[in-house]
Amino acid sequence: MTFEQFTASLSDPQPPAAVHPILKALWYDANEQWEEAHEVAQSREGDQPYDRLHAYLHRKEGDRFNANYWYRRAGTSFFDGSLADEWQVLVTEQLG
């Protein structure tokens, strides 16, 4: 799946079935379903990609303190770009 195909799927009623759970979470996030996205992040705490997703979600929520905790757990620093830029980076990383 390409980035363009993934973003086109955002208008579908459900996330694509055969994508990584982190991509499903980012689909939920883009569709204003933060809780569903957060559940994915919590499902595998301790795995760096999930902790990185967790950081982004708390940053989007406006909880910088909690976001910083998850960025540290993910082994990365606080993202300095926009939320849209960070979302794109996360999607692109998962698409490989």
pLDDT 10s digits, 40-78: 999 999 999 999 999 999 999 999 999 999 999 999 999
Q: What is the mean pLDDT of the chain?
A: 97
Q: How far apart are CA 38 and CA 50, in angstroms?
A: 10
pLDDT tier for residue 86 given thresholds of 50, 70 and 90: very high
- pTM given for the model: 0.95
d(CA 87, CA 33): 14
User: Taking a C-beta distance cutoff of 8 angstroms, is the pair 74, 48 a contact?
Assistant: yes
Contact 56/94 with Cβ under 8 angstroms? no
Residue whose entry in the numeric block shows the structure tokens 């705490």: 45
Angstrom distance (rounded) from CA 3 to CA 77: 24
